[in-house]
Structures are given as structure tokens and as C-alpha cells.
Structure 1
Amino acid sequence: MTTSTLDGQQLQAQLQELQATALKAIAEIETLDTLEQQRIHYLGKKGELSKILGTMGKLPAGDRPTIGTLANTLKETLQTALEQQRHKLQAAQIQAQLEAETLDVTMPGYFRPQGHIHPLNSTMDRILDIFVGLGYTVDDGPEMETDYYNFEALNTPADHPARDMQDTFYLPDGNLLRTHTSSVQIRHMELNDPPIRIVAPGRCYRRDNEDATHAAVFHQIEILAIDQGLTFTDLKGTVKAFLAELFGDVPIRFRASYFPFTEPSAEVDVQWKGRWLEVLGCGMVDPQVLKNVGYDPDLYTGFAAGFGVERFAMVLHQIDDIRRFYTSDLRFLNQF
């Protein structure tokens, strides 16, 4: 008769030794990562407890239930110890974070003066709000343009005298800095079918001599409406509604003018502080411009208008020199 190489007492002693060693090791763990490593070491599929239980096959049949019960009790004891240590470490981690991020509410705060919206930005926002309220959608485009979008598509070929009024900054690759946001209208019409109602704000550039009313860099807003049956009456009504919202009930007059991309065209003045001020140019979109973007001028008509944001801001805020907008003088900006 063969004898077993292991008896219940020996295995029980191993389980008791494992419990003492594991509980001591768990109590000394200082990080959650180490705690997880120890859990795997003792309770994993290839852990210390599994190794001991793997020898149960060598026990006499009568000892196996007792050892099995002891093993389950040991497993529960170690799991409880691991969970308690986990809660302890997590609490310590949170406490350390709280101490590191403690805010002393008795300390004086740092003073950071609040900024102001620049008068040009506030004027532009106010104007855009008016046109959005009239059903227009805001669109924009690149400040660096091609000659086609800035001039050719707007009925201003290379030999057109109107280019002299919009001399600009040309780049080595043949592109240029746009002289108006009218180029946005062309880009929008190429990608969209009528009806169209857009308002296009943005920065523009012209090679101009700077003085109290002129700058080489300025901001412009243009509107465009394309639909069937639009007339100059619709243009006048839109312009009057816009100016009334911006300036109030002031006299308005339209003067015949010329732009290469509108026909007929007009300049618009408002009577402000006892004198007439020119505030914008407008007109019906030239049929050739409609053809350039693939629209049928026999089916669609449209109107456009454009104006400088700086001029409106100067009138609304009674500013005497356009250059004040660009000098970043806090004595000037703090007024707004």
C-alpha cells in the first residue's frame, strides 16, 4: 500500500503561513499599483493560494473537505484585507490631492482688469445683428485673393480704370490682398443657387495714404441678395431699414454713382449732426456678374451694398481720427 506524500496538517500549516505572510505584506503596501500586483501574486490563477490548493490531490479523501473550507476562508480573509487596504490608499490619495490643491480663501486675490470690446468689433457685431434679423446669413472668405475673384469676376478687367481706385498689395505669386469683401459674394454664388441673402464682414487692404479718414487696412461689410424679381425698390427698402435701425429716424438720400459690378449704382448719405455724411455705396448686381457665376440674368436679379466699419464707428462714437482705432491707446479704448 502506498502512503501519501502530504497530509492535512502539513497543508493546513502552509495555509496558515500564507495567511500571516500575505496579511503582513498587504498592510505594508503604499500604492494602488503594488496592491494590484500583490492581489495577483496571492489570489491569481497562478498565485500562491492556487499553488497550495493544487497539491490537494495528494491528500487523503477525508482531509480534503477541511482543507477546502480553510482555503475558502483564507481567500475571503485576503480579499477583505485587500479591499480595506484599497479604500485606505484611495482615501490617502484623495487627502493628499486636497492638501496639494488647498485654496487659502483668506489670501487677497489677484486683480485682473476686465477688457472691453474694441469699438470696431462692437460696431461690426451691431451691424451683423441687424442684417441677421433681416434674414441674412453671415459668410466670409480669404483675405489673400486671386485677381479673378477680386477684380475679373466683378466686371473689372485688367485695363479697367476703376482699378486705380482700388490699388492694392500684390504678392510674388500673383495673388493680392483683397480690396473689398465683394470677392466673398462671388465665392458664395459659385457654390450656392438662388435665392441668396448674405452679409460678408472682413478686413480689406488698399494702397492708400493714411490720414484722419483713410487707412491702408480697414474693415468692410457687404450685403448681397439674389432672387427672382428683386428691384431697386427692394434695395432702397433694405438700406433704409438698416440705417433707421442704426442711426434712428434721420433723413436719407440716394445719389447716382458708378461701380463696375452694379448697374444702376448709388451712394447713400444720412443727415447727421446737421450735415450730410456719405455712409455706403449700393446698386443692382450687373448682369455680367451674374453670368460670371453661372446665373441666368433673365431669370434672376439682385442687389448689393457695401460700407466701411470704421466710418460707421467714427460717426456713432464721434471719433475724429481713424488712426485712433489702431494705436491700442488705453486712454482711448477705456472709453468703450
Structure 2
Amino acid sequence: MATYHVIGIMSGTSLDGVDLAYCRFTYNEKNWIYKILNTETLPYTDVWLKLLSTLTEASAAEIIATDRAYGRYLGELVKNFVEANKLSVDFVSSHGHTIFHQPQLDITFQVGSGAYLAAAAGLPVVCDFRTLDIALGGQGAPLVPIGDKLLFSGYDFCLNLGGISNISQEGSDRRVAFDISCCNMLLNHLAEELGFAYDRNGELARQGQLQQDLFEKLNEAAYFSAAYPKSIGKEWADENSLKVLSHSKASTQDKLHTACHHIGYQIAQSVKQHASQAHGKLLLTGGGAFNSFLVEQIQHYLGPTFEVVVPEPELVNFKEALIFAFLGVLRWRQENNCLQSVTGASQDNCGGAIYWM
């Protein structure tokens, strides 16, 4: 039996803050058991929000400087988190914040220098989980499925509703997973037009009306009918879903309402296409799981034979941070933490750089 105490760090494309999850993992009789012990979400300041959201247009020097400053910032957050909760930590496992993701061009980049994080936190750090997979011909995404496989095997499907919606399931002979569509990247963008950071409980979307022409236009992108492995980055969102919404003359409430239908429809299409039977149990996590109107649309398009489960809020909020902590454990043990069946790489691989302290 082996036990690890790890802090997982996650910052998603929706920029709602830095998630810290202090987790315990125990490997016993070929099974992994996890426990989330302490959590905290630290919202970004206006300065960090502006910097991270505009970094794609920055110079190379500005990007390098931000990478290191952000790594130091994450390390300081970790140090404060450890001291405030008197934690005993083996190491930190950080996803960083994605700025570029174009695997077809061999590009993926997450700011948050592991070296600067380790120096500021005073702890070993595992980071840079995507690069090796892309070097092996993969998408570098999704990374969460091996955690779904080993930690959440009681569900037929694991669905995450973050900035991007993605799904993971066990196929007949391998794990199947891919990004489905933009999610909170669309909904938060539209909510901001109305003066809100996000659409609480989907109340704004519920006030709108379905715009059939917009719904059909959102569903037209070739990505949705493409075979996996496939993944979505901010660049794709800007050129597809967000552009379609910006060109629509519908009211913002109607756009929100229609976007929820679009997301629910694409999720249902993906589930039904890859389901081995006409029923199943879905675990729903990520910020979108708190959007009751969106959850209703997912259930509506799936139909009554599929059970949609929204777990306790802590798991909804911190599942990705939990799983990145777990990916760090697998890297620490020199075991595969990335599956070729979901990324399209030439082989399963053990990704991640380690900075020792």
C-alpha cells in the first residue's frame, strides 16, 4: 500500500479562478482510493484576468515573463494554502493556464513555470503534462480520462462542463474521450454582455427563447461530425461558436437560451453515438453543472433512459484539480498518465516535468 498527499492546481479556460485541492491517494490491492481533504478557489484579480485573457496577442518576451510571474503567483498561493491549513504535502501537481492549444501545429502552451512555482512554494512540482503526448503525435488532450477510468469507474460517462465540455467513457476495448463543444466559454461571454460574470443557475438563459436558425448555425461546424481524437482550444472557439453568436441579431437572453440547447444537443449526440446501450449513468462536474437550465437541456436531449448525476458541490468544483493531482502521482510513480486511445498519440505515455526541491 502506498499513500500520497498532493495539491492539485487547475485553472480553466473560463478564467473563474485558481482551484487548489489537497488530496490523499492510496493504492491498495490494485485499486486507487482518493479523498479530497482541503479545497480553495481563489478568484483572479482584474489585473490577472486582463493579462491572461489577452496573452495570445502579447510578444514572445511578454509571454515568457508572464509564464514565470504566473508560476511564482501560483507558488505563493500554494504556500499560503499550506500554511493556513497546516498541510503536509509530498508535491504539487499543476496544470497551468492554457494560452495556446493547436496540436495540429505541434503547439500547446500552459503558462505557470514549474521552476518558479517550486521556488515560491518550496515544494517539488509536477507540470507540463501535454507536451510529450503532442511530441508522440497526439492531441495532448484530453488528460482527465485516465483519472475517470481509475477513480470513477462506477459511472458509464464522465462529463465535464468547464469552458469546454468534454466526455470520457470506457469503450468495448479502450477508453474513449474527447472535447464535445464550447460550454462556459460561450455562456460566460454572453452573461458578461449583460453585466454578470456568469449566468447563475441559468436564470438569464431561462428568460430567453430558442432561436432555431441560430441553433442550427451553431451545430453546423465540421468539428462536431469529425471522428475523435479531437480537442478544442480558444482559437477554435473564436473562429466558430463565438463568431456565430457575434453575428446573430438575437437578444443576449435568446443567445444564452439557444447556446444551452446547442450544448445539451451536442452532448446528447456524443453520448448516444458512443454508448454501448440505450441507457447509462452520467457524472456531471465543472461549473456548468450548477447551471440548472443547462442540465435540464442535457437531460432533455438525452431522454429518460440516461441518468444525469450532479454530485456534491466539492466534487463538481474540484474534480479537475483532483485528477491533475492524480496525474502527478502517476508521473511520480513513472506510470502512464495519458492514454493514446483518447489523444491519438503513437503510444500511452507518462507525461510531465518534475522540479525537485
TM-score bin, normalised by smaller chain: under 0.3
TM-score normalised by structure 1 residue count: 0.23
TM-score normalised by structure 2 residue count: 0.22
Indicate the structure whose relative CO is greater, using CA pairs within 8 Å and at least 6 residues apart.
Answer: 2
- Rg larger for: 1
